[in-house]
Amino acid sequence: MLIKHPDDILPSEITPQGLYLRRRDFIKTGVGLMGMAAGATLLPGPAHAAPKTAPPFSTAQKSPLSTTGEELTPHHDITNYNNFYEFGTSKADPSRRGDTLQTRPWTVSIEGLVRQPKTLGIDDIIKLAPLEERIYRMRCVEGWSMVIPWVGFPLSSLLKQVEPLGSAKYVEFYTAVQPENMPGVRRRVLDWPYLEGLRLDEAMHPLTIMAVGLYGEALRNQNGAPMRLVVPWKYGFKSGKSIVKIRFTDKEPRTSWMKAGPNEYGFYSNVNPEVDHPRWSQARERRIGEILKRPTLMFNGYADQVASLYTGMNLKINF
């Protein structure tokens, strides 16, 4: 029997949690088929097929930066009510169509104004820093919100690998484009690939993470597998999914939504109840699973941690 130590095992080699939990189903099926004609081959049917997910991350340490005292949004809602226009504009499209996304092999290039540009495989990236569970409020510009137990690591630990130059002021994030697997990119809803950006100090902030899982499991495709950005004090569209390239620049990026609607979507996109979207108020939000709306919190409730990033800025002009 081959025995591997934990440090020798790549995340992609671990048996998916869903398959492990279904082991009893396989055993029962095998027992039920005993006595059938000799030579019959036992093959798991579609109901028993291994889910297309990466390994579980249930051992991630709990982060002290987590939001406390709020009820988590149910797993089913987090994984079935999504914005991921590469698979369609309906909230149900990503969960219905996301299985086609190919997440292995997967590499991320980090380039631009850096001393040591790199291209890293996803398994190597996951090993760069200890994984943490971070419970964050997430607020969508459309007015709904969730509380999500992400699994990830500080983005800064990845960005430091390439030694950014002093001239680097911003960080761009490019997402995957797989026309054969992402039906939405065959429509010009947005300018593909999806591009988002942060100021360098925002990207390096301790609250900013790269998520590789949620609820102790690896990210599902509809949630941005295998790796996505999470910036909890900004509207959700700033947290790009399925990242394939990170680029340092000295110029403010013109992001995908800025191109699509410059009067509606600014570069900063901080959650701000005092700045309405041109077509609706941002003063209140509806938590998924609740009926009544609640007041929207400045910086999504993370003002104590991030307000100092914007000292002296007019946040109505820099929306």
Could you tell me if residue 171 is inside a domain? yes
Q: Report the SS3 class of residue 85.
A: helix
In percent, how much of the chain has pLDDT > 90?
81
**Residue at 253: amino acid letter:** P
Could you tell me if residue 48 is inside a domain? no
Token look-up 């631009």 returns 112
Contact 194, 175 (CB under 8 A): yes
Q: pLDDT tier at 43 (50, 70, 90 boundaries)?
A: very low
Could you tell me if residue 166 is inside a domain? yes
Nearest to 201 by CA among 156, 254, 158, 152: 156
Q: Is 300 left (phi over 0), alpha (psi -120 to 50) or beta?
A: left
Residue 197 main-chain phi, psi, to 5 deg: -155, 155
Query: Which structural domain range is residue 81 located in?
Result: 77-310
Could you tell me if residue 56 is inside a domain? no
From residue 48, give the alpha-carbon distance in Å to each of 70, 107, 144: 35, 30, 34
Could you tell me if residue 101 is inside a domain? yes
Could you tell me if residue 239 is inside a domain? yes
Over the stretch 116-140, which tens digit does the pLDDT of each residue have?
999 999 999 999 999 999 999 999 9
How many structural domains comprise the chain? 1
Could you tell me if residue 58 is inside a domain? no
Rounded Cα–Cα distance for residues 83 and 175 (Å): 14
* CATH number (domain holding residue 299): 3.90.420.10
Could you tell me if residue 29 is inside a domain? no
Measure the N-to-C terminal CA separation of the chain; round to a whole number of Å: 59
Higher pLDDT, 12 or 314: 314
Query: What average pLDDT does this structure show over 274-294?
Result: 96
Q: pLDDT tier at 57 (50, 70, 90 boundaries)?
A: confident
Rounded Cα–Cα distance for residues 55 and 213 (Å): 9
* Stated pTM of the model: 0.83
